[in-house]
Protein backbone atom coordinates (compact mmCIF):
# COMPACT_ATOMS: atom_id res chain seq x y z
CA UNK A 1 0.00 0.00 0.00
CA UNK A 2 1.33 3.42 -0.89
CA UNK A 3 2.09 5.72 1.95
CA UNK A 4 0.29 9.03 2.25
CA UNK A 5 3.51 10.84 1.15
CA UNK A 6 3.85 8.63 -1.92
CA UNK A 7 0.24 9.31 -2.86
CA UNK A 8 0.78 13.05 -2.40
CA UNK A 9 3.89 13.01 -4.62
CA UNK A 10 2.03 11.07 -7.27
CA UNK A 11 -0.72 13.67 -7.22
CA UNK A 12 1.83 16.50 -7.50
CA UNK A 13 3.54 14.84 -10.45
CA UNK A 14 0.18 14.35 -12.12
CA UNK A 15 -0.71 18.02 -11.74
CA UNK A 16 2.74 19.29 -12.71
CA UNK A 17 3.26 20.89 -9.30
CA UNK A 18 6.53 19.07 -8.61
CA UNK A 19 8.26 21.10 -11.34
CA UNK A 20 6.94 24.28 -9.76
CA UNK A 21 8.16 23.17 -6.36
CA UNK A 22 11.65 22.71 -7.79
CA UNK A 23 11.72 26.28 -9.12
CA UNK A 24 13.99 28.49 -7.05
CA UNK A 25 14.80 32.15 -6.69
CA UNK A 26 18.09 33.13 -8.31
CA UNK A 27 19.70 35.64 -5.96
CA UNK A 28 21.81 38.15 -7.88
CA UNK A 29 23.91 40.68 -6.00
CA UNK A 30 23.92 44.30 -7.15
CA UNK A 31 26.61 46.50 -5.54
CA UNK A 32 26.32 50.05 -6.83
CA UNK A 33 26.88 53.61 -5.64
CA UNK A 34 23.37 54.73 -4.70
CA UNK A 35 24.57 57.64 -2.54
CA UNK A 36 27.49 60.04 -2.77
CA UNK A 37 28.96 61.63 -5.88
CA UNK A 38 28.89 58.44 -7.97
CA UNK A 39 25.15 57.98 -7.39
CA UNK A 40 24.64 59.90 -10.64
CA UNK A 41 25.84 56.72 -12.33
CA UNK A 42 24.67 54.17 -9.77
CA UNK A 43 20.99 55.12 -9.79
CA UNK A 44 20.76 54.67 -13.57
CA UNK A 45 22.69 51.39 -13.34
CA UNK A 46 20.29 50.03 -10.70
CA UNK A 47 17.32 51.05 -12.87
CA UNK A 48 18.76 49.21 -15.88
CA UNK A 49 19.21 46.01 -13.87
CA UNK A 50 15.71 46.22 -12.39
CA UNK A 51 14.07 46.85 -15.75
CA UNK A 52 15.78 43.84 -17.33
CA UNK A 53 15.08 41.58 -14.34
CA UNK A 54 11.40 42.57 -14.35
CA UNK A 55 11.15 41.82 -18.08
CA UNK A 56 12.86 38.43 -17.68
CA UNK A 57 10.65 37.47 -14.73
CA UNK A 58 7.49 38.61 -16.55
CA UNK A 59 8.37 36.28 -19.44
CA UNK A 60 8.71 33.25 -17.15
CA UNK A 61 12.12 33.79 -15.56
CA UNK A 62 15.10 31.60 -16.41
CA UNK A 63 14.16 27.94 -16.79
CA UNK A 64 11.24 28.68 -14.48
CA UNK A 65 13.44 30.35 -11.86
CA UNK A 66 12.81 33.93 -10.80
CA UNK A 67 15.55 36.56 -10.63
CA UNK A 68 15.73 38.30 -7.26
CA UNK A 69 18.06 41.29 -6.99
CA UNK A 70 19.89 41.81 -3.69
CA UNK A 71 20.74 45.51 -3.99
CA UNK A 72 23.35 47.19 -1.77
CA UNK A 73 24.73 50.74 -1.70
CA UNK A 74 28.54 50.77 -1.90
CA UNK A 75 28.53 54.60 -1.85
CA UNK A 76 31.28 54.91 -4.47
CA UNK A 77 33.85 54.15 -1.74
CA UNK A 78 36.50 51.41 -1.85
CA UNK A 79 35.97 50.35 1.77
CA UNK A 80 32.20 50.11 1.37
CA UNK A 81 32.55 48.17 -1.88
CA UNK A 82 34.72 45.61 -0.08
CA UNK A 83 32.19 45.32 2.77
CA UNK A 84 29.24 44.98 0.39
CA UNK A 85 31.00 42.31 -1.69
CA UNK A 86 31.76 40.32 1.47
CA UNK A 87 28.14 40.57 2.59
CA UNK A 88 26.68 39.56 -0.77
CA UNK A 89 29.10 36.69 -1.42
CA UNK A 90 29.58 35.13 2.01
CA UNK A 91 26.47 36.15 3.96
CA UNK A 92 23.70 36.54 1.39
CA UNK A 93 25.19 33.76 -0.76
CA UNK A 94 24.25 35.29 -4.12
CA UNK A 95 24.94 33.45 -7.35
CA UNK A 96 26.98 36.36 -8.75
CA UNK A 97 27.61 40.07 -8.12
CA UNK A 98 27.12 43.02 -10.47
CA UNK A 99 29.24 46.11 -9.79
CA UNK A 100 30.75 48.07 -8.25
CA UNK A 101 30.22 51.42 -10.00
CA UNK A 102 33.68 53.00 -10.11
CA UNK A 103 37.00 51.55 -11.23
CA UNK A 104 38.58 52.54 -7.90
CA UNK A 105 36.03 50.40 -6.08
CA UNK A 106 36.36 47.53 -8.55
CA UNK A 107 40.11 47.29 -8.05
CA UNK A 108 39.51 47.07 -4.29
CA UNK A 109 36.48 44.74 -4.21
CA UNK A 110 36.91 42.43 -7.20
CA UNK A 111 39.71 40.45 -5.49
CA UNK A 112 37.09 39.49 -2.85
CA UNK A 113 34.93 37.93 -5.58
CA UNK A 114 37.92 36.23 -7.17
CA UNK A 115 38.95 34.70 -3.84
CA UNK A 116 35.35 33.62 -3.23
CA UNK A 117 35.16 32.08 -6.72
CA UNK A 118 32.10 34.21 -7.50
CA UNK A 119 31.57 36.13 -10.74
CA UNK A 120 31.94 39.91 -10.39
CA UNK A 121 30.43 41.57 -13.47
CA UNK A 122 31.20 45.27 -13.97
CA UNK A 123 28.99 47.39 -16.19
CA UNK A 124 30.59 50.81 -15.68
CA UNK A 125 34.28 50.40 -14.78
CA UNK A 126 36.62 50.92 -17.71
CA UNK A 127 40.11 51.47 -16.24
CA UNK A 128 42.98 49.27 -17.37
CA UNK A 129 43.84 46.15 -15.41
CA UNK A 130 40.55 45.32 -13.70
CA UNK A 131 39.86 42.05 -15.53
CA UNK A 132 43.48 40.98 -15.02
CA UNK A 133 42.51 40.39 -11.35
CA UNK A 134 41.31 36.91 -12.25
CA UNK A 135 39.08 34.57 -14.23
CA UNK A 136 35.89 35.34 -12.26
CA UNK A 137 36.04 39.03 -13.26
CA UNK A 138 33.90 40.17 -16.21
CA UNK A 139 32.71 43.49 -17.63
CA UNK A 140 30.62 44.67 -20.55
CA UNK A 141 31.83 48.27 -20.19
CA UNK A 142 34.25 48.89 -23.06
CA UNK A 143 37.70 49.95 -21.86
CA UNK A 144 39.03 53.47 -22.25
CA UNK A 145 41.91 51.98 -24.23
CA UNK A 146 39.42 50.82 -26.87
CA UNK A 147 37.22 53.92 -26.97
CA UNK A 148 39.42 57.00 -26.51
CA UNK A 149 41.56 56.73 -29.69
CA UNK A 150 38.42 56.54 -31.84
CA UNK A 151 36.83 59.47 -29.98
CA UNK A 152 39.88 61.68 -30.60
CA UNK A 153 40.13 60.56 -34.23
CA UNK A 154 36.50 61.41 -35.04
CA UNK A 155 36.60 64.71 -33.10
CA UNK A 156 39.79 65.76 -34.91
CA UNK A 157 38.25 64.87 -38.28
CA UNK A 158 35.22 67.09 -37.69
CA UNK A 159 36.85 70.02 -35.86
CA UNK A 160 40.30 70.26 -37.41
CA UNK A 161 42.07 69.90 -34.06
CA UNK A 162 45.86 70.39 -34.35
CA UNK A 163 46.90 70.72 -30.70
CA UNK A 164 45.19 70.03 -27.37
CA UNK A 165 45.49 70.72 -23.65
CA UNK A 166 44.99 67.83 -21.21
CA UNK A 167 43.17 68.03 -17.87
CA UNK A 168 42.70 64.97 -15.66
CA UNK A 169 41.98 63.79 -12.12
CA UNK A 170 45.24 62.50 -10.64
CA UNK A 171 43.82 60.70 -7.57
CA UNK A 172 41.39 58.23 -9.14
CA UNK A 173 42.11 54.93 -10.91
CA UNK A 174 39.58 55.64 -13.66
CA UNK A 175 40.68 59.19 -14.47
CA UNK A 176 44.39 58.31 -14.30
CA UNK A 177 43.82 55.36 -16.62
CA UNK A 178 41.90 57.67 -18.94
CA UNK A 179 44.83 60.08 -18.95
CA UNK A 180 47.28 57.29 -19.79
CA UNK A 181 45.13 56.16 -22.71
CA UNK A 182 44.50 59.71 -23.92
CA UNK A 183 48.26 60.38 -23.81
CA UNK A 184 49.03 57.27 -25.85
CA UNK A 185 46.29 58.01 -28.39
CA UNK A 186 47.50 61.60 -28.85
CA UNK A 187 51.07 60.37 -29.37
CA UNK A 188 49.90 57.75 -31.89
CA UNK A 189 47.88 60.39 -33.78
CA UNK A 190 50.82 62.85 -33.53
CA UNK A 191 48.66 65.54 -31.88
CA UNK A 192 50.85 67.77 -29.66
CA UNK A 193 49.86 68.72 -26.10
CA UNK A 194 50.11 72.40 -25.15
CA UNK A 195 49.91 71.81 -21.38
CA UNK A 196 48.86 69.09 -18.93
CA UNK A 197 46.97 70.09 -15.76
CA UNK A 198 45.54 68.01 -12.91
CA UNK A 199 42.85 68.19 -10.23
CA UNK A 200 41.61 66.02 -7.36
CA UNK A 201 38.25 64.42 -6.65
CA UNK A 202 36.05 66.84 -4.73
CA UNK A 203 37.67 69.98 -6.16
CA UNK A 204 35.19 72.72 -7.09
CA UNK A 205 37.39 75.55 -8.37
CA UNK A 206 39.30 74.82 -11.58
CA UNK A 207 40.01 78.37 -12.71
CA UNK A 208 43.78 78.21 -12.05
CA UNK A 209 44.18 75.15 -14.30
CA UNK A 210 41.84 76.57 -16.93
CA UNK A 211 43.67 79.90 -16.98
CA UNK A 212 46.93 78.07 -17.79
CA UNK A 213 45.12 76.06 -20.43
CA UNK A 214 43.68 79.20 -22.03
CA UNK A 215 47.15 80.77 -22.16
CA UNK A 216 48.46 77.71 -24.05
CA UNK A 217 45.88 78.34 -26.82
CA UNK A 218 44.75 74.74 -27.54
CA UNK A 219 42.23 73.74 -30.20
CA UNK A 220 40.49 71.41 -27.73
CA UNK A 221 40.66 70.23 -24.12
CA UNK A 222 41.08 66.51 -23.51
CA UNK A 223 39.32 65.81 -20.21
CA UNK A 224 39.55 62.65 -18.09
CA UNK A 225 37.04 63.24 -15.30
CA UNK A 226 33.98 61.95 -13.55
CA UNK A 227 30.94 64.11 -14.21
CA UNK A 228 30.91 65.60 -10.68
CA UNK A 229 34.10 67.49 -11.54
CA UNK A 230 33.77 67.44 -15.34
CA UNK A 231 30.53 69.42 -15.52
CA UNK A 232 31.79 72.40 -13.45
CA UNK A 233 35.04 72.32 -15.43
CA UNK A 234 33.03 72.88 -18.61
CA UNK A 235 30.99 75.67 -16.96
CA UNK A 236 34.07 77.47 -15.64
CA UNK A 237 35.89 77.09 -18.97
CA UNK A 238 33.06 78.85 -20.79
CA UNK A 239 32.99 81.56 -18.10
CA UNK A 240 36.68 82.21 -18.82
CA UNK A 241 35.96 82.50 -22.54
CA UNK A 242 37.39 79.08 -23.45
CA UNK A 243 35.02 77.96 -26.19
CA UNK A 244 37.00 75.09 -27.72
CA UNK A 245 35.60 71.52 -27.82
CA UNK A 246 36.05 69.09 -24.93
CA UNK A 247 36.97 65.46 -25.60
CA UNK A 248 35.84 63.32 -22.66
CA UNK A 249 36.03 59.75 -21.50
CA UNK A 250 33.42 57.32 -20.24
CA UNK A 251 32.77 59.35 -17.07
CA UNK A 252 31.44 62.29 -19.10
CA UNK A 253 29.04 60.26 -21.20
CA UNK A 254 25.80 60.92 -19.34
CA UNK A 255 22.62 62.89 -20.02
CA UNK A 256 23.30 64.42 -16.57
CA UNK A 257 25.74 66.76 -18.33
CA UNK A 258 22.75 68.74 -19.63
CA UNK A 259 21.49 69.33 -16.08
CA UNK A 260 24.85 69.90 -14.41
CA UNK A 261 26.52 72.01 -17.11
CA UNK A 262 23.28 73.54 -18.43
CA UNK A 263 24.10 76.13 -21.13
CA UNK A 264 27.78 75.11 -21.14
CA UNK A 265 27.23 71.50 -22.21
CA UNK A 266 27.69 71.91 -25.98
CA UNK A 267 30.86 70.76 -27.72
CA UNK A 268 31.59 67.66 -25.63
CA UNK A 269 32.84 64.66 -27.65
CA UNK A 270 32.44 61.19 -26.12
CA UNK A 271 32.59 57.59 -27.30
CA UNK A 272 30.55 54.57 -26.22
CA UNK A 273 28.93 51.50 -27.78
CA UNK A 274 25.59 53.10 -26.79
CA UNK A 275 23.86 56.28 -27.92
CA UNK A 276 20.32 57.42 -27.25
CA UNK A 277 20.26 58.48 -30.92
CA UNK A 278 21.08 54.96 -32.17
CA UNK A 279 17.74 53.81 -33.59
CA UNK A 280 18.16 50.03 -33.70
CA UNK A 281 15.04 48.01 -32.80
CA UNK A 282 16.62 46.70 -29.56
CA UNK A 283 17.72 50.16 -28.44
CA UNK A 284 14.40 51.80 -29.37
CA UNK A 285 12.56 49.14 -27.33
CA UNK A 286 14.88 49.64 -24.34
CA UNK A 287 14.58 53.45 -24.39
CA UNK A 288 10.77 53.28 -24.56
CA UNK A 289 10.57 50.74 -21.72
CA UNK A 290 12.98 52.74 -19.55
CA UNK A 291 11.09 56.01 -20.07
CA UNK A 292 7.78 54.28 -19.34
CA UNK A 293 9.07 52.78 -16.08
CA UNK A 294 11.17 55.66 -14.73
CA UNK A 295 9.77 58.73 -16.52
CA UNK A 296 13.26 59.85 -17.53
CA UNK A 297 15.60 59.15 -20.45
CA UNK A 298 18.24 56.42 -19.94
CA UNK A 299 21.98 56.95 -20.28
CA UNK A 300 24.91 54.75 -21.29
CA UNK A 301 25.17 53.29 -17.79
CA UNK A 302 21.53 52.21 -17.68
CA UNK A 303 21.88 50.64 -21.14
CA UNK A 304 25.00 48.70 -20.15
CA UNK A 305 23.45 47.31 -16.96
CA UNK A 306 20.26 46.41 -18.84
CA UNK A 307 22.25 44.45 -21.41
CA UNK A 308 24.45 42.91 -18.70
CA UNK A 309 21.43 41.37 -17.00
CA UNK A 310 20.39 39.76 -20.28
CA UNK A 311 23.96 38.54 -20.89
CA UNK A 312 24.04 36.96 -17.44
CA UNK A 313 20.59 35.47 -18.02
CA UNK A 314 21.85 33.92 -21.25
CA UNK A 315 24.60 32.18 -19.28
CA UNK A 316 22.36 31.11 -16.38
CA UNK A 317 19.94 29.57 -18.89
CA UNK A 318 22.71 27.13 -19.85
CA UNK A 319 23.57 26.25 -16.25
CA UNK A 320 21.82 23.40 -14.49
CA UNK A 321 21.22 24.97 -11.08
CA UNK A 322 21.99 22.22 -8.58
CA UNK A 323 21.60 24.01 -5.29
CA UNK A 324 25.32 23.49 -4.59
CA UNK A 325 26.33 27.15 -4.54
CA UNK A 326 30.06 26.61 -5.19
CA UNK A 327 29.30 24.36 -8.17
CA UNK A 328 26.62 26.71 -9.52
CA UNK A 329 28.95 29.73 -9.27
CA UNK A 330 31.69 27.84 -11.12
CA UNK A 331 29.25 26.64 -13.79
CA UNK A 332 28.06 30.21 -14.35
CA UNK A 333 31.65 31.42 -14.65
CA UNK A 334 32.29 28.72 -17.28
CA UNK A 335 29.11 29.58 -19.24
CA UNK A 336 29.51 33.37 -19.37
CA UNK A 337 32.41 33.68 -21.87
CA UNK A 338 30.40 31.83 -24.53
CA UNK A 339 27.46 34.27 -24.44
CA UNK A 340 26.88 36.69 -27.30
CA UNK A 341 24.13 39.29 -27.26
CA UNK A 342 22.57 41.91 -29.52
CA UNK A 343 20.90 44.45 -27.27
CA UNK A 344 20.56 48.15 -26.52
CA UNK A 345 24.34 48.63 -26.82
CA UNK A 346 24.57 46.64 -30.06
CA UNK A 347 26.33 43.38 -30.81
CA UNK A 348 28.34 42.09 -27.88
CA UNK A 349 30.85 39.32 -27.17
CA UNK A 350 33.51 38.73 -24.52
CA UNK A 351 37.24 38.63 -25.14
CA UNK A 352 39.69 37.22 -22.62
CA UNK A 353 42.08 39.55 -20.83
CA UNK A 354 45.58 38.67 -19.72
CA UNK A 355 46.76 38.70 -16.12
CA UNK A 356 50.17 38.65 -14.49
CA UNK A 357 52.85 36.83 -16.44
CA UNK A 358 50.65 36.81 -19.53
CA UNK A 359 48.29 34.22 -18.05
CA UNK A 360 44.62 34.24 -19.18
CA UNK A 361 42.44 36.11 -16.67
CA UNK A 362 38.98 37.69 -16.82
CA UNK A 363 36.87 38.96 -19.70
CA UNK A 364 36.44 42.35 -21.38
CA UNK A 365 33.84 43.62 -23.83
CA UNK A 366 34.33 43.29 -27.57
CA UNK A 367 32.26 46.15 -29.03
CA UNK A 368 32.68 49.01 -31.47
CA UNK A 369 32.27 52.54 -30.06
CA UNK A 370 29.86 55.19 -31.34
CA UNK A 371 31.24 58.75 -31.18
CA UNK A 372 28.83 61.57 -30.33
CA UNK A 373 28.99 65.31 -29.65
CA UNK A 374 26.65 67.38 -27.49
CA UNK A 375 24.58 69.95 -29.41
CA UNK A 376 21.54 71.82 -28.14
CA UNK A 377 20.92 69.56 -25.16
CA UNK A 378 21.34 66.19 -26.87
CA UNK A 379 23.98 63.81 -28.17
CA UNK A 380 24.48 63.77 -31.94
CA UNK A 381 26.23 60.79 -33.54
CA UNK A 382 29.22 61.64 -35.73
CA UNK A 383 31.31 59.30 -37.92
What confidence tens digit (pLDDT) does each residue in 270-306 have?
999 999 999 999 999 999 999 999 999 999 999 999 9
The predicted pLDDT at position 250 comes to 86
Domain assignment present for residue 18? The answer is no
Residues 294 and 351 in one domain: yes
List of residues 6+ apart from 87 with CB closer than 8 A:
72
The predicted pLDDT at position 353 comes to 94
Domain assignment present for residue 313? The answer is yes
Please give the model's pTM, rounded to 2 decimal places.
Answer: 0.88
pLDDT tens, residue by residue, 306-338? 999 999 999 999 999 999 999 999 999 999 999
Residues 260 and 149 in one domain: yes
Q: Is the pLDDT of residue 14 over 70?
A: no
The predicted pLDDT at position 355 comes to 86
Q: Determine the Cα–Cα distance for residues 231 and 220; give it in Å rounded to an integer.
A: 16
Residues 323 and 227 in one domain: no
Residues 154 and 69 in one domain: no
Average pLDDT of the residues in 22-42: 91
Domain assignment present for residue 37? The answer is yes
Instruction: Of 100-109, 164-173, 253-262, give the lowest mean pLDDT range.
Output: 253-262
Q: Domain boundary residue among 257, 272, 287?
A: 272
Residues 134 and 161 in one domain: no
Residues 208 and 244 in one domain: yes
pLDDT band at 15 (very low <50, low <70, confident <90, very high): very low
pLDDT band at 24 (very low <50, low <70, confident <90, very high): confident
pLDDT tens, residue by residue, 224-241? 999 999 999 999 999 999
Residues 210 and 313 in one domain: no
Tell whether omega for the bond before 248 is within 30 degrees of 0, i.e. cis: no
Nearest 10 degrees: CA dihedral of 114, 303, 317, 90? Answer: 30
Residue numbers of the domain that contains 202:
145-272
Residues 268 and 250 in one domain: yes
Domain assignment present for residue 358? The answer is yes
Residues 93 and 190 in one domain: no
Residues 166 and 264 in one domain: yes
Q: Domain boundary residue among 272, 301, 331?
A: 272
Average pLDDT of the residues in 242-268: 94
Residues 137 and 150 in one domain: no
Q: Determine the Cα–Cα distance for residues 9 and 147; give it in Å rounded to an integer.
A: 57
Q: Domain boundary residue among 210, 242, 272?
A: 272
Domain assignment present for residue 19? The answer is no
* CATH code assigned at 248: 3.40.50.2300
pLDDT tens, residue by residue, 335-350? 999 999 999 999 999 9
The predicted pLDDT at position 254 comes to 87
Residues 47 and 95 in one domain: yes
Q: Is the pLDDT of residue 19 over 70?
A: no
Domain assignment present for residue 263? The answer is yes
Domain assignment present for residue 103? The answer is yes
Instruction: Of 17-21, 29-33, 99-103, 271-275, give the lowest mean pLDDT range.
Output: 17-21
For the chain, the domain total comes to 2
Domain assignment present for residue 57? The answer is yes
pLDDT band at 23 (very low <50, low <70, confident <90, very high): low
Mean pLDDT, the chain, rounded, equals 93
Amino acid sequence: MKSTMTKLLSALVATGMVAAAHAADLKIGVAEALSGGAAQYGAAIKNGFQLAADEINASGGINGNKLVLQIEDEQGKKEEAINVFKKLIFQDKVLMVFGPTLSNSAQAADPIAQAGKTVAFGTSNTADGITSIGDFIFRNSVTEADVLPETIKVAAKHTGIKKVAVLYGNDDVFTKSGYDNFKKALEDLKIPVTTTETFAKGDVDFKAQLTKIKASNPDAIVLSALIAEGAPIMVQARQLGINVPFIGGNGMNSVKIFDLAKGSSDGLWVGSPWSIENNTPANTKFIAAYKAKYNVAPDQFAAQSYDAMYIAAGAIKNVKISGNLDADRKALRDALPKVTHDGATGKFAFRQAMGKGGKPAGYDAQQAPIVSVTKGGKYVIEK
